[in-house]
Amino acid sequence: MAESTEIDSSHSRQTQNDLGTRIQALTLFEKKVPIPEITQLTSVSKSRIYAYCKTAIQRGYDPNVNPRILLKYVEDTLKPGRPVKATDEVKGQVIKVLKKNSTTRQFSTVPISQAIAKFGMNISVRTVWNILHSLGYSPCKLTTKPGLTAKAKAIRLKWCLEYKDWTLEDWKNVI
């Protein structure tokens, strides 16, 4: 049936069961289907079936009162952890600094981080890198173009002065 506990090749742990599989396992458990059969049908282990049942009961599930299994009985709870630094507001400030003008578009992550710090948002250089990478930006080398030499400027000026009186009709005949 549901292949929700596939082995993840990059880790030794199994992935979690999806909500549908959890509900199916709980329903079969409440219908007094034997545990080995539930495990065979849903690929949910015996210990997980009991854990899902215990969690559902703690969250208000009572099969004697209402046999319906609601999502809130089987959903994962929020996991505690460090809040992210890269909020939407911070991402917006990074893009605002980056797109401000042609000079800021050339900034590396260090000046961007310093510019963001002026707004009272202290984020690391690595966080700036992660934000830019997540938004599709990639590092590129600045293309530098040599300026015009005095000789080239003189040639351009001469050409402009020579053709300054031409009308639109004159230019149409050139092409």
Residue 144: C-alpha distances to residues 119, 140, 153, 156 (Å): 31, 12, 19, 21
The string of DSSP letters for 50-83 reads HHHHHHHHHTT--TTT-----HHHHSPPPPP-PP
**Confidence class of residue 104 from pLDDT cuts 50, 70 and 90?**
confident
Report pLDDT digits (tens) over 139-157. Answer: 887 778 888 999 999 999 9
Residues 6+ apart with CB under 8 A from 73: 26, 55, 56, 59, 60, 61
Q: What pLDDT sits at residue 7?
A: 41
What is the distance between the alpha carbons of residues 105 and 142, in angstroms, rounded to a whole number?
A: 10
DSSP 6: P
Q: What pLDDT sits at residue 143?
A: 79
- Mean pLDDT, the chain, as a whole number? 85
Q: What is the chain's alpha carbon radius of gyration, rounded to the nearest angstrom?
A: 32
Report pLDDT digits (tens) over 6-56. Answer: 444 444 445 678 888 999 999 999 899 999 999 999 999 999 999 999 999
pTM: 0.44
**Confidence class of residue 175 from pLDDT cuts 50, 70 and 90?**
low
Q: What pLDDT sits at residue 155?
A: 97
DSSP 105: G
What is the distance between the alpha carbons of residues 104 and 113, in angstroms, rounded to a whole number?
A: 12
Nearest 10 degrees: CA dihedral of 66, 70, 76, 80? -80
The tokens of 145 are what? Answer: 């173009």
Q: What is the mean pLDDT of residues 87-94?
A: 90
Q: What pLDDT sits at residue 9?
A: 42
The tokens of 157 are what? Answer: 């000026």
